[in-house]
Amino acid sequence: MKQKSIVTYIDKMAFDVELNDHHFTIDASEKVGGENRGPRPKGLLLSGLGGCTGMDVVSILKKMQVTDYKLTIEVEGEPEEEYPKPYKAISVTFLFTGKDLPSSKIKKAVELSEQRYCGVSDMLKKAAELTIKIKINGEEL
């Protein structure tokens, strides 16, 4: 089934985004004529990637009966210097914290997302070099 987002011009550089019946505002920075009333659009690719793989990992871990942890996903994009300035490299870092976390299950869940389930990862790795890291309580796996 097709998915749709409706992006409506407000004024200056600001747009309303409608997605799944939710709304938020995106805007440019002051430097380029915006008023920073919301985030930049290109960065939504990073957010979409973090959210997509994050939801996969949380679901897979739940099936593995791993539920007691905190998780933050940092996604960084490094744009080319020349227009159209696509991201040439994207890094995803999973930061898990919690007691007695099972590193092999966590690693497996992240791999399953990246290799089988995450559509955003599948698309963006066709355009940029994608690297994945996992840290558990600050220690890189």
Going residue by residue from 56 to 95, which x/- string records binding to its own copies, judged by CB under 8 A? Answer: --xx----------xxxxxxxxxxx--xxxxx--------
Which residues share a beta bridge with 140?
Answer: 135
Query: Minimum distance between the CB of residue 79 and its own copies, rounded to whole angstroms?
Result: 7
Instruction: Locate 86 and state its tokens.
Output: 């696509």
Whole-number Å distance between alpha carbons of 54 and 58: 6
- Report cis status (omega within 30 of 0) of the bond before 84: yes
Whole-number Å distance between alpha carbons of 48 and 54: 10
Stretch that binds its own copies, among 45-53, 103-111, 132-140 (CB under 8 A): 45-53
Binding site for its own copies (CB under 8 A): 1-9, 13, 15, 17, 19-20, 22, 24, 26, 28-29, 32-34, 36, 38-52, 54-55, 58-59, 70-80, 83-87, 116-124, 126-128
